[in-house]
Amino acid sequence: MKKCNTCGLNKSLYDYCVRKISKDGLNYRGKDCDKLYRIQNKENIKKHQNKFQSNNPNRQKEIQAKYVKVNPEKRKESIKKYLKKYPEKQKAKAAVQYNRINGFELHHWSYNQEHWKDVIPISQTNHIKIHKYMSYNKEKMMYCSTITNGYFIIGELLNTKNKHQEFINQLLLNLNK
| Full domain range(s) for residue 145 | 87-175
The answer to whether 175 touches 129, Cβ cutoff 8 Å, is yes
Specify the pLDDT at position 58. 86
Q: Looking at the structure, tell me whether residues 91 and 170 fall in a common domain.
A: yes
Residue 157, strand partner residues: 144
Domain tally, the chain: 2
Q: Looking at the structure, tell me whether residues 94 and 32 fall in a common domain.
A: no
Indicate if the pLDDT at residue 177 is higher than 70.
no
Specify the pLDDT at position 153. 78
> By three-state DSSP, how is residue 138 classified?
coil
Q: Looking at the structure, tell me whether residues 91 and 19 fall in a common domain.
A: no
- Of residues 122 and 102, the one with the higher pLDDT is 122
Q: Looking at the structure, tell me whether residues 167 and 94 fall in a common domain.
A: yes
Specify the pLDDT at position 164. 93
Cβ-based burial of 31 (10 A; exposed 0-12, middle 13-18, buried ≥19): middle
Number of neighbouring beta carbons within 10 Å of residue 111: 22
Indicate if the pLDDT at residue 60 is higher than 80.
yes
Q: Model pTM?
A: 0.63
Residue 35 located in a structural domain: yes
Residue 123 located in a structural domain: yes
Q: Looking at the structure, tell me whether residues 36 and 101 fall in a common domain.
A: no
Instruction: Give the integer Cα–Cα distance in Å for 95 and 97.
Output: 6
Q: Looking at the structure, tell me whether residues 36 and 91 fall in a common domain.
A: no
Q: Looking at the structure, tell me whether residues 98 and 169 fall in a common domain.
A: yes
Q: List the Cα angle 72/76/82 in 5-degree steps.
A: 145
Q: Looking at the structure, tell me whether residues 27 and 96 fall in a common domain.
A: no
> By three-state DSSP, how is residue 168 classified?
helix
Residue 66 located in a structural domain: no
Residue 124 located in a structural domain: yes
Residue 106 located in a structural domain: yes
Q: Looking at the structure, tell me whether residues 95 and 32 fall in a common domain.
A: no
Q: List the Cα angle 41/42/48 in 5-degree steps.
A: 90
53-81 exposure pattern, b = at least 16 Cβ within 10 A, e = fewer: eeeeeeeeeeeeeeeeeeeeeeeeeeeee
> By three-state DSSP, how is residue 121 classified?
strand
Specify the pLDDT at position 129. 87
Tell me the average pLDDT across 21-36: 93
Tell me the average pLDDT across 24-39: 93
